[in-house]
Structure 1
Amino acid sequence: MSLKMYMTTVTSSRETKAQQQDIVRVLDTSGQPYETVDIAADNSLRAEMREKCGNPNALPPQLFLGDKYLGGYDEIMAAVEDGELKKFLGEN
């Protein structure tokens, strides 16, 4: 299964930019391959992200392992703090 991060390249929110950068740093450090999906490229991608999250107001960044919703910034950072990143990302 592939790890996918929904993100945006177009935002005026410093918080969103910082959260996306933090997650990219964590994922790059973990060594687990992932792909990014830029919801700014097409409104249908934003709708897809929100539908998959089950939240019509979800904002990026959001993480998925295949079709399984993992969570957003708070969830991945909690996994990092708890030393559970590999488990969170579905690694054995």
Structure 2
Amino acid sequence: MPVILFYSSVSGSLELKKNQERIMSVLTSKKIPFKAVDIAQNSEDKDLMRQKAGNPTALPPQLCNGDVYCGDFDAFENAIEMEQLEEFLKL
């Protein structure tokens, strides 16, 4: 299963946009295939993201590997810092 990145193309938050771009940049540079799912285009995708995250108020970006929830941006950054990105993404 590919890594799934839940993100939002519509946001007033500059920090959120930067976080999403950082994740996409890292995944692309490491040649990790991923599917980007824009929750702003479909409320069902937002509901799915929140269900997988186990948090009814979860905000993007959120990462999953298939049906397995990996974590949010902070967990992603921590995995990079600890050099455990592949374990974090369950690859």
TM-score tier by shorter-chain length is over 0.9
Aligned to 2:38: 38
Structure 1, unaligned runs of 5 or more: none
Partner of 1:57: 57
Task: Return the alpha-carbon distance in structure 2 between the equivalents of residues 55 and 31 of structure 1.
Answer: 29
Hey, what does 2:73 align to over in structure 1?
73
State the match for 1:17 in structure 2. 17
SS at match of 1:41: coil
- Structure 1 runs (4+) deviating above 2 angstroms are none
Q: CA deviation at 1:32?
A: 1.0
1:52 CA drift (Å): 1.3
SS in structure 1 at match of 2:12? coil
The alignment partner of 2:40 has SS state of helix
Name the structure 2 match of 1:6: 6
How large is the RMSD of aligned CA atoms in angstroms?
0.9
* Aligned length, in residue pairs: 91
Percent identical: 40
